[in-house]
């Protein structure tokens, strides 16, 4: 069981490594194709928009017993998206690049829910938070390595060389999924849960965790979309933001298991509260220190906050859901991440159009405050264990 859980973690690592290496590239690459600030935001938001809707499909097929099918197809679509990115460079086409982003968004939508719910189901008893923490560490490790690789390779060898890596990493992720699929088959629903319905998703802790995720992901989208754009227009290379994301990912990596284990012991709400506050402090500092080397301070602080908050919010949203609806629950929960990313990229893109890229960051600093308030709402129902 532990071997399969770790192979599942590795599939998650390589799938999202192929995505995260694009983080420092999307905005600068769109600019090189002639995109204006609002179009930069729209192109960056295409993946989140498509993922938002495809997660419903991913959740449905996952709950029907096709989780590993979904994860495998997600990796295959990642390969196709990578080839489209390469083609957009040859044809100098922002449209083809946007289509590639849309396909990658669909891939994320069907991969992520099954990956997340399967981690809960394969976790040893009483160690769900820890399992989510380890899974989160693999996700963070991708965010550490990916942006640094993407920024370095694109600076040295061009954007197309970095896009080739998306193809390679997605292929490796597909191999790990096949290994777990062959060993486990498909995860069966427990008989006593056969009558569980989607109305179970209306519990206060699930709604609160989802909304809290929405606002911190909206803040995150502002940073990953418009900080590299700011660096681009002032003449800095993609590697600068790649290093920013590497530090943020490393910091998040270091606190993920702590967040998961703490949620197992004391409940997810106190852990999420501390983590979201850390995100707020990091983005508040970013207002004053947007450029290196001082910008690396908020990268570390906000990364640590995300590392604590995300496994706690996942635990809060999913641990008590019946297994029969857990994949759809994962879909809807993670849809709030995509909705936050999309809202941030489009709305903050409009702010950037009016006030310049620097005008985005006061809004970014405010958003975690809203999340911090929302995460405490279940305490009104005396549901202190989330």
Q: Tell if the pTM clears 0.85, that is, is over it.
A: no
Element containing residue 262 per DSSP (H, E): helix 238-266
Do 362 and 287 touch, CB atoms closer than 8 A?
Answer: yes
pLDDT, one tens digit per residue, over 37-84 is: 777 878 877 887 788 788 888 888 888 878 888 999 999 999 999 999
Do 332 and 55 touch, CB atoms closer than 8 A?
yes
Please give the backbone phi and psi of residue 52, each rounded to the nearest 5 degrees, phi first.
Answer: -55, -45
Strand ranges (DSSP E) for the chain?
none
Distance, in Å, from the CA atom of 356 to the CA atom of 249, rounded to the nearest integer, reads 27
Q: Is 204 exposed, middle or buried (0-12, 13-18, 19+ CB in 10 A)?
A: middle
Could you give the C-alpha distances from 325 to 113, 179, 264, 318, 322, in angstroms and in order? 11, 25, 22, 10, 6
pLDDT digit string, tens, across residues 96-155: 999 999 999 999 889 988 888 887 777 777 777 878 887 877 877 776 788 778 888 988
Neighbours of 348 (CB within 10 A): 26
| Comparison of pLDDT for 28 and 123, the residue scoring more | 28
Structural domains for the chain: 11-183+200-381 (1.20.1250.20)
DSSP label at 201? G
């Amino acid at each position: 069981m532990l071997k399969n859980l770790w192979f599942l973690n590795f599939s998650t690592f390589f799938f999202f490594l192929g995505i995260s290496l694009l983080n420092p590239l999307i905005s600068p690459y769109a600019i090189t194709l002639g995109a204006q600030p609002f179009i930069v935001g729209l192109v960056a938001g295409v993946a989140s928009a498509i993922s938002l809707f495809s997660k419903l499909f991913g959740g449905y097929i996952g709950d029907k017993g096709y989780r590993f099918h979904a994860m495998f197809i997600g990796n295959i679509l990642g390969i196709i998206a990578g080839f489209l990115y390469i083609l957009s460079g040859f044809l100098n086409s922002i449209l083809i690049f946007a289509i590639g982003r849309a396909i990658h968004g669909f891939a994320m939508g069907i991969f992520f829910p099954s990956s997340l719910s399967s981690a809960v189901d394969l976790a040893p008893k009483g160690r769900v938070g820890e399992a989510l923490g380890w899974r989160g560490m693999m996700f963070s490790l991708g965010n550490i390595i990916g942006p640094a690789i993407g920024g370095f390779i694109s600076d040295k060898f061009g954007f197309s060389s970095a896009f080739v890596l998306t193809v390679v990493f997605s292929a490796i992720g597909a191999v790990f999924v096949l290994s777990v699929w062959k060993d486990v088959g498909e995860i069966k629903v427990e008989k006593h849960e056969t009558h569980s319905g989607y109305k179970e998703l209306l519990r206060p802790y699930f709604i609160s965790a989802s909304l809290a995720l929405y606002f911190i992901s909206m803040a995150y989208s502002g940073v990953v979309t418009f900080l590299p754009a700011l660096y681009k227009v002032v003449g800095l290379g993609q590697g600068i933001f790649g290093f920013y994301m590497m530090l943020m990912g490393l910091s998040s990596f270091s606190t993920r298991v702590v967040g998961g284990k703490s949620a197992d012991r004391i409940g997810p709400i106190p852990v999420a509260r501390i983590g979201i506050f850390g995100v707020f402090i990091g983005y508040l500092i970013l207002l004053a220190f947007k450029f290196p080397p001082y910008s690396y301070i908020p990268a570390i602080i906000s990364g640590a906050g995300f590392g604590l908050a995300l496994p706690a919010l996942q635990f809060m949203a999913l641990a008590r859901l019946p297994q029969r609806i857990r994949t759809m629950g994962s879909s809807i929960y993670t849809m709030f991440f995509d909705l936050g990313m999309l809202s941030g990229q489009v709305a903050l893109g409009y702010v950037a159009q009016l006030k310049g890229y620097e005008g985005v960051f006061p809004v970014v600093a405010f958003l975690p405050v809203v999340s911090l308030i929302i995460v405490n709402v279940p305490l009104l129902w005396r549901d202190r264990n989330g």
